[in-house]
Amino acid sequence: MIEDIKTKLHIVNGAAIKPEHFSLDKFEDIKEVHAMVMKKNSFSVSEMDAIVSELGTMKDLKR
């Protein structure tokens, strides 16, 4: 799901967001973000920033 989100948003620095950065306890949250991203055809810069910021808050900081 993380790779799908990165592809859809055309994230330039994809190395900053890797699937292994997220623990399974965030699965439902990531699933919601994924569903929202996959529904839309395009995103404003502010929407993309908000999505990436949200993913950043979900990262497992221990990894």
**In the chain, domain spans:** 2-58
Query: According to the model, what pLDDT value does residue 61 have?
Result: 73
The alpha-helical segments, DSSP class H, found in the chain are: 2-9, 27-39, 45-58
Q: Which of 1, 3, 10, 57 is nearest to 30 (CA)?
A: 1
Rounded to whole angstroms, the Cα distance separating 5 from 11 reads: 9
Q: Which of 54, 15, 22 is nearest to 37 (CA)?
A: 54
Rounded to whole angstroms, the Cα distance separating 7 from 10 reads: 5
Q: For residue 25, what pLDDT band results from cuts at 50, 70 and 90? A: very high
Contact 18, 2 (CB under 8 A): yes
Query: According to the model, what pLDDT value does residue 13 have?
Result: 81
